[in-house]
Chains A and B, each alone.
Chain A
Amino acid sequence: MTDSEGGPDLTKGGGPTAETAGDGPLVVVENVNKHFGELHVLKDINLTVNRGEVVVVIGPSGGGKSTLCRSINRLEPIDGGTILVDGKELPKEGKELARLRADVGMVFQSFNLFAHKTILDNVTLGPIKVRKQGRQESEKHAMELLDRVGIANQAQKYPAQLSGGQQQRAAIARSLAMKPKVMLFDEPTSALDPEMINEVLDVMSGLARDGMTMVVVTHEMGFARKAAQKVVFMADGQVVEENTPEEFFTNARTDRAKDFLSKILTH
């Protein structure tokens, strides 16, 4: 299923590479619960993401989509249940967690590029400091990644000098530089002007084609239909419906999903 375009192979988690522990699912979320004080934000969440699979998470604001993403790489601790990444549970805290967390890439709505570093330094920081790679090797790989996302000519600029779409592509390159097994995207195009949305979605579609395992929170139906194998509809902290993209958008099973879709389709 790899559709090579002659670019560098960006994925490490896609096919069966030396780094993957086995053939089981890459991410397993089991009976996960999470509270913010009194607020029950994640209620008995179960979700399986297979290797090379793209899962789109969709649902009303406040439904817990971001919290789920953040729980998967433990930016947010959970109260109960388990989350396995490549068969292993992430440790609670400490150095070991930091190291394993790098296996889970995260792309944020607000890009969060390091504001005081150039684009190139943003991309090489993790490989050099976390993966302990040499600078030369890291820069070479970073330039390949920046080229792949179409902003190699911006490498020496600072984040604030780039457009939103360019910043988000740089953020994707920064994540990819860690050779993650799975990438999480939390509304990666919601902060972008409309004309920049496609340049980011195109990069993401390319990743999906190359076999990257992805969890994408987005309301971009075109992307979901084209790139995803599974749509998960979340509302009020629960997974309300799991379906194929085609079925979900044309023939949702649950009323809650139908109601939500009628709102985003008619506005």
Chain B
Amino acid sequence: MEQLLDLLDFGPFFDHFDTILEGFWATIRLAAAAAVLSLIIGTVLAAFRVSPIPVLRAVGTVYVNVLRNTPLTLVLLMCSLGLNDTLALTFSSDANTSYYWWAVLGLSGYTGAFVGESLRSGINTVPLGQAEAARSIGLTFSQSLRMIILPQAFRAVIAPLGSVFIAMIKNTTVAIAASYAEIATQMKSLVDLPSFASGTIPLFIGVAVGFMILTLPAGFFSGWLAKRMAVAR
């Protein structure tokens, strides 16, 4: 009994609450930037993949297939060790800032492939007649994509995009591979402290709850938005 209580000792967890909050703040900054950037990358990819220009279609297909089938850890290592360290392609003289942006870029590039695929499946739900009507009133291809097709495609895939973003938020933990110190990095360093001998399980529970605080609202929000924005046909 004594031992069991020891295992659930939340003392060390709250002793280092500041560090943990700091870690989560770093996670949120990474996730927020990656959400915006992956949405942009995904939209461009989806546009490429339905474009009438064969070269763009090919670029889109190759990109999606490469990024979707490469482990995220590898993508992030490539960004941090490969591009940042070895090739010295840095964003800033401050190493941490540079690692942050490489983590954002790697995570967005990876997530963008999934966003692009979701959107493309959304485009497939838009009846062909919508594009024909758009062309018949004189809209160009890019106008009809921007004003008619993509807005309807987005609305059709809000719920699946929610899942993509929840996965992305959890994937931020892999940014440890990009030398970016988010919550998983902090957690790992805390676990190694002698004072945490009895507090590891509470630490894991606390971090898991922290992630749910981020992901559950994301899920509820996307579900609510999907219903609200649904296109009636």
A residues contacting B by CB (< 8 A) are: 73, 75, 95, 98-102, 104-106, 108, 110-116, 125-126, 129-131, 158-161, 171, 174-175, 178
Q: How near does chain B come to A142, taking the closest CB pair, in angstroms? A: 13
B232 pairs with A160, CB closer than 8 A:
yes
**B227 beta carbon closer than 8 Å to chain A:** no
Given A108-B132, A116-B231, A158-B232, decide whether A174 and B137 contact each other with a Cβ distance below 8 A. Answer: yes
Given A115-B232, A116-B155, A125-B147, decide whether A98 and B140 contact each other with a Cβ distance below 8 A. Answer: yes
Q: Which of A75, A98, A161, A174 contacts B232 (CB 8 A)?
A: A161
Q: How near does chain B come to A248, taking the closest CB pair, in angstroms? A: 28
Which residues on B sit within 8 Å (CB–CB) of A75? 132, 135-136
**B133 beta carbon closer than 8 Å to chain A:** yes
B152 pairs with A105, CB closer than 8 A:
no
* Closest B residue to A99 using CB positions: B138
A101 pairs with B138, CB closer than 8 A:
yes
In the bound complex, what is the Cα–Cα distance between A126 and B130 (angstroms)? 14
Which residues on A sit within 8 Å (CB–CB) of B147? 125, 129
Q: Which of A102, A114, A171 contacts B148 (CB 8 A)?
A: A114
**B23 beta carbon closer than 8 Å to chain A:** no
Given A108-B129, A112-B132, A114-B148, decide whether A125 and B137 contact each other with a Cβ distance below 8 A. Answer: yes
Most buried by B among A100, A116, A125, A158: A116
Q: Which of A115, A160, A178 contacts B130 (CB 8 A)?
A: A115
Q: Which of B133, B151, B231, B233 contacts A108 (CB 8 A)?
A: B133
Q: How near does chain B come to A43, taking the closest CB pair, in angstroms? A: 24
Which residues on A sit within 8 Å (CB–CB) of B129? 108, 110-112
Q: How near does chain B come to A116, taking the closest CB pair, in angstroms? A: 5
A115 pairs with B136, CB closer than 8 A:
no
Which residues on B sit within 8 Å (CB–CB) of A99? 138
Q: How near does chain B come to A238, taking the closest CB pair, in angstroms? A: 25
**B81 beta carbon closer than 8 Å to chain A:** no
A101 pairs with B136, CB closer than 8 A:
yes
* Closest B residue to A102 using CB positions: B138
**B139 beta carbon closer than 8 Å to chain A:** yes
**What 1/0 flags go to B103-135 for Cβ under 8 Å of A?**
000000000000000000000000101101111
In the bound complex, what is the Cα–Cα distance between A215 and B132 (angstroms)? 18
**B143 beta carbon closer than 8 Å to chain A:** yes
Q: How near does chain A come to B31, taking the closest CB pair, in angstroms? A: 29
Which residues on B sit within 8 Å (CB–CB) of A106? 132-133, 136
In the bound complex, what is the Cα–Cα distance between A125 and B134 (angstroms)? 9
Which residues on A sit within 8 Å (CB–CB) of B155? 116
Which residues on A sit within 8 Å (CB–CB) of B130? 112, 114-115
B139 pairs with A126, CB closer than 8 A:
yes
Q: How near does chain A come to B173, taking the closest CB pair, in angstroms? A: 37
Which residues on B sit within 8 Å (CB–CB) of A112? 127, 129-130, 132-133
**Can you report 6 residue pairs joining A to B where beta carbons are below 8 Å apart?**
A110-B127, A112-B132, A114-B130, A114-B133, A125-B147, A159-B232
In the bound complex, what is the Cα–Cα distance between A234 and B102 (angstroms)? 63
In the bound complex, what is the Cα–Cα distance between A158 and B148 (angstroms)? 14
Given A108-B132, A114-B130, decide whether A130 and B138 contact each other with a Cβ distance below 8 A. Answer: yes
Given A116-B151, A116-B155, decide whether A175 and B137 contact each other with a Cβ distance below 8 A. Answer: yes
A178 pairs with B152, CB closer than 8 A:
no
Given A108-B129, A115-B152, A129-B143, decide whether A102 and B232 contact each other with a Cβ distance below 8 A. Answer: no
Which residues on A sit within 8 Å (CB–CB) of B132? 75, 106, 108, 112
Given A114-B148, A116-B155, decide whether A98 and B133 contact each other with a Cβ distance below 8 A. Answer: no
B136 pairs with A105, CB closer than 8 A:
yes
In the bound complex, what is the Cα–Cα distance between A243 and B210 (angstroms)? 78
Q: A106-B136, A171-B133 are in contact. List 8 more A-B contacts (CB 8 A).
A: A98-B135, A98-B140, A99-B138, A100-B138, A106-B132, A112-B133, A116-B155, A160-B233
* Closest A residue to B128 using CB positions: A112
Which residues on A sit within 8 Å (CB–CB) of B135? 75, 98, 101
Which residues on B sit within 8 Å (CB–CB) of A114? 130, 133-134, 148
A130 pairs with B137, CB closer than 8 A:
yes
Q: How near does chain B come to A107, taking the closest CB pair, in angstroms? A: 9
